Amino acid sequence: DAKTTQPPSMDCAEGRAANLPCNHSTISGNEYVYWYRQIHSQGPQYIIHGLKNNETNEMASLIITEDRKSSTLILPHATLRDTAVYYCIVISGGTASKLTFGTGTRLQVTL
């Protein structure tokens, strides 16, 4: 599965949009982009995923560039409860793969 690169940390003011970038320049055609987050002392939580098209759900939006080499997770109105480590994962649609987590981006939402 393709390797991903994320900034180690980011800050965001409460109420503002949090834009978390992820580079995955070696992504191949059948690989999906998944985002998870882990709030302190809890298990990871699935946020959203996409293949080619931009996606939106009640938690976030996922913007994937046309060449698919990078993506951005957008939390439109960040709250203090969104403070967490955010993981970008690229994984093949085949069942032989396993979901592995990198180091992620630690997002700190401040007042």
Partner 1 sequence: GAGVSQSPSNKVTEKGKDVELRCDPISGHTALYWYRQRLGQGLEFLIYFQGNSAPDKSGLPSDRFSAERTGESVSTLTIQRTQQEDSAVYLCASSPYRGWELFFGEGSRLTVL
Is 43 one of the binding residues for partner 1 (CB under 8 A)?
yes
Quote the CA–CA distance of 71 and 96 in Å, as a whole number.
24
- Tell me the number of residues near partner 1 by CB under 8 A: 21
Interaction of residue 2 with partner 1, rule CB under 8 A: no
Binding span for partner 1 by CB under 8 A among 11-19, 42-50, 57-65, 68-76: 42-50
Query: What DSSP line would sit under the chain, residue for residue?
Result: ----B--SEEEEETTSPEEEEEE-TT--TTEEEEEEEE-TTS--EEEEEESSS-EE-SS-EEEE-TTSSEEEEEETT--GGG-EEEEEEEEESSTT--------EEEEEE-
Asked if 21 interacts with partner 1 (CB under 8 A), we say no
8 touches partner 1 (CB under 8 A):
no
Query: Is 56 an interacting residue with respect to partner 1 (CB under 8 A)?
Result: no
Shortest spacing between CB 23 and partner 1, in angstroms: 18
Nearer to partner 1, 13 or 51 (CB): 51
Q: Which residues are at the interface with partner 1 (CB under 8 A)?
A: 32, 34, 36, 38, 42-46, 49, 89, 91, 93, 95, 98-104
